[in-house]
A and B are shown apart, each in its own frame.
Chain A
Amino acid sequence: MKASTSVAITAAVLVAGFALCALQFPNIASTRVVANLLTDNAFLGIVAAGMTFVIISGGIDLSVGSVIGFTTVFVALAVERWGIPPFAAFALVLVLCALFGAAMGAVIHVFDLPPFIVTLAGMFLARGISFLLSTESIPITAPIYSAVSDFAIRLPGGGRLTAIAIAMLAILVLSALLLHLTRFGANVYALGGSRTATALMGIPVGSMTIRIYMLSSVLAGLAGIVFSFYTAAGYSLSAVGVELDTIAAVVIGGTLLTGGQGSVIGTFLGVLIQGMIQTYINFDGTLSSWWTKIATGVLLFVFIALQQGLMALARRSSVKPPGVKPVGVST
């Protein structure tokens, strides 16, 4: 089955879903709603980009939600209590996140442990450290925060494309370029295809693993910074369970949980679908927000079933290309 097929399916679901929503609530089809959707899900889009790399490489990263939580607390404390200038605090927290991700990658590679276990430990660790730092919600009042939230590009129709939405779009574009156009990206797919074969082909599997988890944690850190802009606060309980929303977005976007196949654009569509469900529920007003979870769950089932079905179909109809024409050997 082609990766492009599953992206096409995701896109079709998004368009159809959006059309249905717009039929019921015509107001949904406005730049304002769409721009808000991007803003509300900016942090999710950023972590999901990192998660896409991890999952394509055949791994999983359960620590991202906690890393977001840690980042918001750390930034809030650094800026409000320790008097560190905001940009220095951002740089510092990203370095910490990079080290954290690198450590998880190194443990996974060196001790040959399942990523699930290692990142599960990372999840508890990062959440625990944020509690150690502070258990209360710390409002951030630095001027840069209000400046950033005031900034927006006005769209025709009244929408406001906020700074954090722009940041997400930029990161998605960069991630897509990294994944689809570079050697690093090709190696990520290779790892998901087969670790041993990749190693035998001379790719440094260890440093690749480290770099992939580092990327995921750094993007989670960036998502945390974005989240702190979104809420203007740091709180150790923020983004609990976000790792699962992220994985759901990636899988709905057509990335195989077994690795080796997927795309950033698919992930973006997956994030939009989740955002759309959320928006619908907000518009309806009578539905509890838990319906988002239920709808996401149903969609996940449908998508996984679809993927399997399509794959079986592709396998059945796959005729090995007979066009292997022998030609003369130049000697």
Chain B
Amino acid sequence: MSDSSAPPAARPSLLEIRGLTKSFGALKALQDVDFTLGEGEIHALLGENGAGKSTLIKVVTGVFARDAGTVRLAGDEIAPRSAKDAVEAGIATVYQEVNLLPNLSVAQNLYLGRQPTRFGVVRQAEMRRRAHALLLDYGLDIDVGAPLASYSVAVQHITAIARAVDLSARVLILDEPTASLDRHEVEILFRVMRKLAADGIGIVFVSHFLDQVYEICDRVTVLRNGRLIGTRDITDLPRLDLIRMMLGRELAETTHERAASQPDTAREVCVSFKGFGKQGYVAPFDLELRRGEVVGLAGLLGSGRTETARLVFGAERADSGEASVAGKAVRLNSPRDAAGLGFGYCPEERKTEGIVADLTVRENIVLALQARRGLHRPLSRREQDEIAMRYIRMLDIRPPDPERPIGLLSGGNQQKALLARWLATSPKLLVLDEPTRGIDVGAHAEIIRLVRDLCEQGLALLVISSELDEIVTYSNRVVVLRDRAHVEELKGDAVEVSSILAAIAADAPTAQEVAS
């Protein structure tokens, strides 16, 4: 530490990365990257999808072997050769892919490998007690003896974070930790992060939410195509400059104006639900979806948004009410029924559940379309290539190589490919659950534009999003949910962030709630 060049920040530096290089075959994922993290600093690592953020993290934590470069932790050179080595050195990481074990209990997930034992026997009760107390710190009061799989993605993420932090780390790396958390949970996480930083832990934070970066981070480092673009103090960096650093160009301006709204009645009703619901899941609701219209579903996590989507797609069987398509009552008991009616559903957990990692990008994109056509009418290779290339171009999937196994793409690019899978089926009704999660600023604007285009082509869209700005931008109507019930429907000029927030927050029971 007798180095004469003081780190740029006033803080003593904790993690110093110099000249890090990593190639996957011909692809240079990282080239000569430097990165310095100070004690107690929250440092954002930013860049487009595929820029090399996750790769940097995996190289530092020994998941991938590096080609060149050095990593120093508190002055000592380290070269972890596995995630275990990194943990022992004091670098705790929550990776982008959920890296927990759904079949084990929450408590086991928190303490796997370091359960309290007596004479070699795991002290179950003690472990549960500690796990429960630990999660209370994160604002979760749950049964830690239940399998992790029985909880939402958000709870799973918080569990992963709690585990990583609890490993008495000096450096904590969070790769897109907030991608599936709602506002409230993000607040909880940020409070925890600030507390940890105050204790002197250095935190690396990867995110595509620039608001969050400005809210929580001290400095940012930007990567583009595997190269270091620069490190800046967040206070000296206007947002437009940051975006320019990330994209290497100006962001094509997306008008955050609302789509011109025609009167509802001008459009033909495509699908409608009457008194549709399921006991203990979502209270019965009425919903009409019209051609060429986007309906947004807003509400806190757990308010019943995803549950509504699953009912609409038949993934969950409704026990009351009826659905009709073009005025005719239809059976909607399974996803198969829904697909037959021309519904498409791009679920929230697509990152972990939707992709078939060993298949190529092309095969992943044509999967749903092929399934719909049936096996006796295979798509010719030419058609497949055409479809794949069209969506690769449309969504800017990188690298634009349809023959690459999808598992080797970066997280955000996998997500785009999945979106392409459902778009390729040209459905009548498309349900998108958080379509912009984990997608970079550039592609984010593309997807919003895409949603509008689809709508103009006469699709009916039902879109779930936690980003209210986004929902307001493309929705003609917004349904607000609270406590697993549809509590309000905003139309026309009433579709505003403030009115959605008011509806989410309203404490007074609405007429509908009282009635049910």
- On A, residues with C-beta under 8 Å from B are 177, 181-183, 186-187, 189-190, 192-194, 196-204, 260-261, 316, 318-331
Docked CA distance A323–B138 (Å): 15
B146→A186 contact, CB < 8 A = no
Q: Nearest Cβ in chain A — how far from B2, in angstroms?
A: 33
Docked CA distance A197–B151 (Å): 17
User: Which chain B residue shows the least CB distance to A197?
Assistant: B99
- Residues of the A chain whose Cβ atoms lie less than 8 Å from the Cβ of B88: 202
Q: Nearest Cβ in chain B — how far from A209, in angstroms?
A: 14
Listed A/B pairs (30) with beta-carbon separation below 8 Å: A182-B117, A182-B120, A182-B121, A186-B108, A186-B112, A189-B103, A194-B101, A194-B102, A196-B99, A197-B98, A199-B82, A201-B99, A201-B112, A202-B82, A202-B84, A202-B113, A260-B103, A320-B151, A321-B151, A323-B141, A323-B142, A324-B140, A324-B151, A326-B140, A326-B188, A327-B139, A329-B139, A329-B188, A329-B192, A331-B195
Count, A-B residue pairs, CB within 8 A: 118
**Dominant SS at the A interface?**
loop
B150→A321 contact, CB < 8 A = yes
Sort A-B residue pairs by CB-CB distance and give the 7 closest, nearest first. A193-B101, A260-B103, A202-B84, A193-B103, A200-B99, A202-B87, A197-B99
- Residues of the B chain whose Cβ atoms lie less than 8 Å from the Cβ of A183: 113, 115, 117, 120, 122
**Dominant SS at the B interface?**
loop
- On B, residues with C-beta under 8 Å from A are 63, 82-84, 87-88, 93, 95, 98-104, 108, 112-113, 115, 117, 120-122, 124, 136-143, 146, 150-152, 155, 163, 184, 188, 191-192, 194-195, 280-281, 302, 316-317, 484
B83→A201 contact, CB < 8 A = yes
Which of the residues B113, B122, B137 comes within 8 Å of A201, measured between beta carbons? B113
Docked CA distance A326–B95 (Å): 24
User: Which chain B residue shows the least CB distance to A199?
Assistant: B83
B142→A321 contact, CB < 8 A = yes
Docked CA distance A324–B140 (Å): 6
Docked CA distance A319–B101 (Å): 19
Known: A183-B122, A190-B108. 14 other contacts (CB 8 A): A182-B120, A183-B113, A183-B115, A183-B120, A186-B104, A192-B103, A194-B101, A202-B113, A316-B316, A320-B302, A321-B142, A324-B142, A324-B155, A325-B141
Q: Nearest Cβ in chain B — how far from A316, in angstroms?
A: 7
B103→A327 contact, CB < 8 A = no
Among B63, B139, B151, B280, chain A packs the most CB atoms within 10 A around the CB of B139
- Residues of the B chain whose Cβ atoms lie less than 8 Å from the Cβ of A177: 121
Which of the residues A193, A199, A319, A323 comes within 8 Å of B280, measured between beta carbons? A319
- Residues of the A chain whose Cβ atoms lie less than 8 Å from the Cβ of B102: 193-194
B142→A186 contact, CB < 8 A = no
B117→A198 contact, CB < 8 A = no
